[in-house]
């Protein structure tokens, strides 16, 4: 890959081992046509592999990784169920809100139509 001297780099992925995760992300960037490099950084805590791209390609690289299925996955947590009583309370609250809205619409309708229904005053 051709790299210009002194060009700013953006790190899009860091791993503590060279394995399938790093290769998957490299493949995503390669398919997207984004030039990238893998830098190996040795530290006292271990060896780290940094996948970096040109700074101007950082957003495109993140999008390519997400489209390639390499984005962070959110684990769905089951919401604690409140039981039957809580569900019935929610249904009753929703029904009450809907009835209040219906009542407001009926009042508006009566206010709008009533002046038309009243007869005009008679002139003597």
Q: pLDDT of the chain along its 124 residues, tens only? A: 455 667 889 999 898 888 888 998 999 999 999 999 999 999 998 899 999 999 999 999 999 988 877 766 555 555 666 788 888 998 999 999 899 989 999 999 998 888 777 777 777 6
What is the model's pLDDT at position 7? 82
Domain boundaries, the chain: 9-67, 82-116
Query: Do strands 36-43 and 46-54 pair parallel, antiparallel, or not at all (unpaired)?
Result: antiparallel
Model pLDDT, residue 50 = 93
Beta-carbon contacts of residue 51 (< 8 Å; ≥ 6 apart):
11, 12, 13, 14, 15, 22, 25, 26, 29, 36, 37, 38
Question: Is residue 44 classed exposed, middle or buried when 0-12, 13-18 and 19+ CB atoms within 10 A define those classes?
Answer: exposed
Q: What pLDDT is recorded for position 3?
A: 56
Name the token pair of 6.
Answer: 């002194």
Residue 76 has phi, psi (to 5 degrees) of -80, 130
CATH of 9-67, one of 2.170.120, 3.30.450, 3.30.2010, 3.30.70: 3.30.70
Q: For position 123, what pLDDT does the model report?
A: 79
């Amino acid at each position: 890959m051709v790299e210009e001297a002194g060009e700013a780099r953006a790190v899009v992925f860091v791993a503590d081992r060279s394995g399938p995760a790093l290769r998957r992300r490299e493949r995503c960037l390669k398919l997207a046509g984004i030039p990238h490099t893998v830098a190996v950084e040795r530290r006292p805590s271990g060896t780290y592999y940094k996948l970096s791209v040109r700074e101007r390609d950082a957003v495109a690289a993140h999008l390519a990784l997400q489209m390639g299925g390499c984005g962070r996955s959110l684990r769905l947590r089951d919401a604690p169920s409140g039981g039957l009583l809580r569900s019935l309370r929610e249904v009753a609250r929703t029904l009450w809100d809907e009835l209040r809205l219906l009542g407001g619409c009926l009042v508006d309708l009566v206010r709008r139509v009533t002046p038309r229904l009243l007869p005009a005053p008679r002139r003597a």
